[in-house]
A and B are shown apart, each in its own frame.
Chain A
Amino acid sequence: MAVKFKKTTAIEIEHAVIDGVDISGHWSRMFEQRVIFEYTPELIEKVTDLPDAESFAYCYQCAKCVPVCPVDIVGDYGPRKLYKYAQTGTDLLQSPGLWLCTTCSNCLRVCPKEVNMIKIMPAAREQAILDGNFVPKELQDAFENTAKSGNPLGQPQRKRDAWAQNAGVTVPIIKDLARPVDVLWYVGSYPSYHPRGMDAASAAARIFSALGIDFAILGKEEKDDADTQRLAGEKGLFEMMSEHNIQTFNKYEWKEMVVTGPHELNAFKNEYPKYGFDRPVLHYTTFLARYLDQLKPLLKHEINLKVTYHDPCYLGRHNGEYEAPRKLLQAIPGVELVEMDRNRENGYCCGGGGGGMWMDSYTDKHIKMRLSEKRAMEAASTGVNVLAVACPFEVSRFEDAVKSTGNEHVGVLDILELLDQSMRGKQ
């Protein structure tokens, strides 16, 4: 027999006395209609209707994301706040908040409801771009450069492998070798063109060469992975670039691919498989950690430095590699590795991900200091001589940041450069 429930109604009495005890109190607000009902869900639905962005609606405002959001730490942001703003009349697709997220994924790590900004942000940004809404000029330039020149820096394709001339070792081009290789090394745009990136690329070439690794690069056939452009909202550009790259990768025989950058790792390991690419890809730290036994005898020169290591978001949180970079640093004689308070899973973002690399002058208007500056100060506070990095976005970001925060005494070096220094002695 079906049980019939009677709808309960609250009874309000001025005094309640139970067993002689007066338990009168104030009327509970829980029984009143809450302010939230005055909001319309339209601006939330505008986001959740987008493909992959439905989790925006799961937010129940617990605010666990706010203290871990690197943007909130230097400003007033945080995923919870975006939801609240949408509830109270802000169109995310037309607000500055659309461009501040670096897709660092620290909010997703702590979110009990799995509100996934790594999917929401690219979807919302893509729609904003398609709608012809405001897009920061520098970001447009990076998109256009990628489409026109094959790299976000707008450098000529012909010079993609020009850095190799100064590496001091032979850097074979796979096309010229015309034979299968063990390792296809995808150098990446910043190591190919940025002066400080080239230093890391040359160091890598020397290390691979010293280890006797059978490697080759794509040379002038290599183009940007475009994953960061995808996260910044340019999915069409990402698809165009991935089609080109997959075709290029598959033209050659190689056993595994090693990438210099964590963003490229994320692209080729997690995103390109959706477009049919399924071959082993490793970040250089993971790859070199395998060769520790062969590497250690090569590290002949002591580097007496106190070093801290910055976990790149796309190597750590996104791809789970925390130990290999530390193992490599600890293998260098004389290096004392110290940790910053925010490390590993809770590593602080440098501000370059999700397109942040190409929006600094725009995001500057909405934050108190750059994320890279905050991190440079954290590094300096540990009393180190060197901030070691493993992502090509970071060297230039942190070198600027140590200068602008008065911490020039902290050097910024890629792990590759430190290994190379220990191998050859300081040049």
Chain B
Amino acid sequence: MNIVVAIKHIPSTADDLPIKGNNLDFDSLDFVLNEFDEQSIEQAVLVKEAVGGTVTVIGVDLIGELDGVLHLALAKGADKAIKITANEPGADSHQQAKWLSEAIKGLSPDLIFTGVQASNDIDGQIGPMIAAYLDLPYIGGVSSVEVAGDTATVNKEFAGGVGAKYLVNLPAVIGVQASTKPPRYAPISKVRQMAQTAKIENLEPVGEASAELTFKKMAPPVMTGHAEMLTGSSKEVAAKIVDLLKSKGLV
């Protein structure tokens, strides 16, 4: 089974996001692997371990620092790593999906995984757009995958704790919400070994997505309220809570 995982490098939200002009200040922030992609890499490796095959991890190198992420994926069990060297930190998911599709086309995969969404734009578009560009079926919100022959049985999660089982004809694109088992830990010694020995294939970005969206302004959200901390002994705090509830007409 030829499995491809399309990953996304996104700005880290561990720190406040710096803004420059009408976009993020990409020079003064760190990039990290989208956390849903950690799940999709794990799911791909689990499928490989169950039915055999190879896992190729592919991503767009936005800032020239994707190697570290690819080494980590290799240490977790991926077999091959490819980066599309775009060096455009602000490339949106439409453009990334286009570049990824053009590159994935040449890999003739049986199964493509993506994270169901990424925490930078939260639009969940990369998976569906790759599927559209490659004319393949797509299913997202998936929390487990079992492959048998040329079909996959997947669990898809819906709101309100409802789940459904789907049979998917392969090849297909699957957006992973959570892998069947939690992502494994890759010891740093293995990651460093990969950094020394692994070869990462470089591809040029090919194709241009139609620019339907343009950035007009990026700004931090305006604070509209704040939490008030009640202080004092537990009795005093309790009395204050009672007063508050009364003043709001709740009791």
Residues of A near any B CB (own CB < 8 A): 126, 129-130, 132, 135, 137, 140, 143-144, 147-149, 154-159, 234-237, 239-240
Q: How far is the CB of A45 from chain B (nearest CB, A)?
A: 23
Q: List residues of chain B with CB within 8 A of the CB of A143.
A: 185, 188
Are the CB atoms of A236 and B185 closer together than 8 Å?
no
How far apart sit A135 and B192, CA to CA, in the bound complex (Å)?
20
Are the CB atoms of A236 and B15 closer together than 8 Å?
no
Q: List residues of chain B with CB within 8 A of the CB of A240.
A: 188, 192
Name A135's contact: one of B185, B188, B191 (CB within 8 Å). B185
Q: List residues of chain A with CB within 8 A of the CB of B30.
A: 156-157
User: Beta-carbon contacts of B186-198 to A below 8 Å, as 1s and 0s?
Assistant: 0111111000000
Are the CB atoms of A130 and B32 closer together than 8 Å?
no
- Confirm or deny: B184 has a beta carbon within 8 angstroms of a beta carbon on chain A: yes
Q: How far is the CB of A274 from chain B (nearest CB, A)?
A: 16
CB nearest to A158 among chain B residues: B15
11 contacts between A and B (CB under 8 A): A130-B190, A132-B184, A135-B185, A143-B185, A148-B32, A154-B14, A156-B30, A235-B189, A237-B188, A239-B188, A240-B192
Q: List residues of chain A with CB within 8 A of the CB of B32.
A: 148
How far apart sit A126 and B188, CA to CA, in the bound complex (Å)?
11
Which label, helix, strand, loop or mixed, suits the secondary structure of the A interface?
helix
B229-250: which have CB < 8 Å to A? none
Q: A149-B14, A154-B14 are in contact. Are A140 and B185 (CB under 8 A)?
A: yes
Are the CB atoms of A147 and B188 closer together than 8 Å?
yes
Q: List residues of chain A with CB within 8 A of the CB of B185.
A: 129, 135, 140, 143-144
How far apart sit A239 and B12, CA to CA, in the bound complex (Å)?
25
Which label, helix, strand, loop or mixed, suits the secondary structure of the B interface?
loop
CB nearest to A235 among chain B residues: B189
Are the CB atoms of B182 and A137 closer together than 8 Å?
yes
Q: List residues of chain B with CB within 8 A of the CB of A132.
A: 184
Are the CB atoms of A234 and B14 closer together than 8 Å?
no
Are the CB atoms of A156 and B14 closer together than 8 Å?
yes
Q: List residues of chain B with CB within 8 A of the CB of A126.
A: 187
Are the CB atoms of A236 and B190 closer together than 8 Å?
yes
How far apart sit A132 and B185, CA to CA, in the bound complex (Å)?
7
Are the CB atoms of A234 and B15 closer together than 8 Å?
no
Are the CB atoms of B182 and A234 closer together than 8 Å?
no
Q: How far is the CB of B188 from chain A (nearest CB, A)?
A: 4
Are the CB atoms of B187 and A236 closer together than 8 Å?
yes
User: Beta-carbon contacts of B21-40 to A below 8 Å, as 1s and 0s?
Assistant: 00000000010100000000
Are the CB atoms of B187 and A129 closer together than 8 Å?
yes
CB nearest to A240 among chain B residues: B188
Q: How far is the CB of A7 from chain B (nearest CB, A)?
A: 52
Q: List residues of chain A with CB within 8 A of the CB of B190.
A: 130, 236
8 more A-B contacts (CB under 8 A) besides A143-B185, A149-B14, A156-B30?
A126-B187, A234-B187, A234-B188, A236-B187, A236-B189, A236-B190, A236-B192, A239-B188
CB nearest to A149 among chain B residues: B14
Q: List residues of chain A with CB within 8 A of the CB of B188.
A: 143, 147, 234, 236-237, 239-240
Q: List residues of chain A with CB within 8 A of the CB of B192.
A: 236, 239-240
Q: How far is the CB of A289 from chain B (nearest CB, A)?
A: 37
Q: List residues of chain B with CB within 8 A of the CB of A155.
A: 14
CB nearest to B184 among chain A residues: A132
Q: How far is the CB of A168 from chain B (nearest CB, A)?
A: 24
Q: List residues of chain B with CB within 8 A of the CB of A157.
A: 30
How far apart sit A234 and B185, CA to CA, in the bound complex (Å)?
11
Q: List residues of chain B with CB within 8 A of the CB of A236.
A: 187-192
Q: How far is the CB of A143 from chain B (nearest CB, A)?
A: 7
Q: List residues of chain B with CB within 8 A of the CB of A237.
A: 187-188
User: Beta-carbon contacts of B161-189 to A below 8 Å, as 1s and 0s?
Assistant: 00000000000000000000010110111
Q: List residues of chain A with CB within 8 A of the CB of B15.
A: 156, 158-159
Q: List residues of chain B with CB within 8 A of the CB of A239.
A: 188-189, 192
How far apart sit A240 and B187, CA to CA, in the bound complex (Å)?
11
How far apart sit A235 and B191, CA to CA, in the bound complex (Å)?
12
Q: How far is the CB of B138 from chain A (nearest CB, A)?
A: 30
CB nearest to A147 among chain B residues: B188
Q: List residues of chain B with CB within 8 A of the CB of A130.
A: 187, 189-190
